[in-house]
Amino acid sequence: MKIPTLYLVLFSLSIAILSCEQKEKQIASVKEEKKLLNAEKPQYFLLRPEVEKAYGYAHAVKIGNEIKISGAVSMDDEGNPTAVGDLEQQMKNCYADLEKILNHYGCTFDD
pLDDT in tens, the chain (111 residues): 566 676 677 677 666 666 666 667 777 777 777 776 666 899 999 999 999 999 898 999 999 889 999 888 999 999 999 999 999 999 999 999 999 999 999 999 998
Amino acid identity for residue 40 in this structure: E
Amino acid identity for residue 63 in this structure: I
Query: Do the beta carbons of residue 89 and residue 75 sit within 8 Å?
Result: no
User: In sequence order, which residues have a C-beta less than 8 Å from that of residue 11 and are 6 or more positions away?
Assistant: none
Query: Do the beta carbons of residue 56 and residue 46 sit within 8 Å?
Result: no
User: In sequence order, which residues have a C-beta less than 8 Å from that of residue 53 and are 6 or more positions away?
Assistant: 46
